[in-house]
Structure 1
Amino acid sequence: MQQNTTESDLQSFLHSTGDQFDEEKQVIGAIVKSLLTERGRVTNKAIILSLIAELESTNDIEQLDVLRNCLEIVVGRTPDDDK
């Protein structure tokens, strides 16, 4: 269930942005595909951790900007934890 919510929320948001976040769409799409292959499910936490790992392992300034934007998008779309 988390997988569908995460994917549909992100897909809806990214689809609504048109061409504005093309590179971010590709990065997030690749991460989602990788998580589905490796774990069989996708959560916002897993996407965030994957993005952080990518941020820590790259030195390319342009790629860092794209990854930061991706992280902002995912964190912004993450629902608050239930208390």
Structure 2
Amino acid sequence: MLQQYDFYQSIQNKALSEHFLKAGDMLADEAEILGGAVRHLMAAGETINNKNIIATLIHSLECTDSVLSADVIRKTLEIVVDYTLDDI
């Protein structure tokens, strides 16, 4: 289970990672989606910032056929956007 949370250290926005860490199981599904986005960016050699996370989540949303997955991705996207500065 600890391995699941290793990606938080890679996120540049510490307020965002703290939000997910403090939420614990309440945002477990969203944390899984966020972790997948971060791992994807890491594998691609991209910077782990809110802009790239948002782009990755939008792409995931566009590619999913599952209504349930789309809802979790949307909620994750909403959280990331809430923690994004207006000038990014």
Alignment coverage as a number of residue pairs: 79
1:31 aligned partner = 37
Output the aligned Cα RMSD: 1.7
1:64 aligned partner = 70
Structure 1: gaps spanning 5 or more residues: none
Q: 1:40 to 1:61 in 2, by over 3 A?
A: closer
1:74 aligned partner = 80
* Corresponding letter in the other structure for 1:29: G
Q: CA shift at 1:4, angstroms? A: 5.1
**Runs of 4+ displaced beyond 4 Å:** none
Structure 1 stretch displaced more, 18-27 or 30-39: 30-39
Structure 2: gaps spanning 5 or more residues: 1-9
SS of the equivalent of 1:21 reads helix
2:7 aligned partner = none
How high is the TM-score relative to the length of structure 2?
0.79
* Corresponding letter in the other structure for 2:79: I
* Corresponding letter in the other structure for 1:50: T
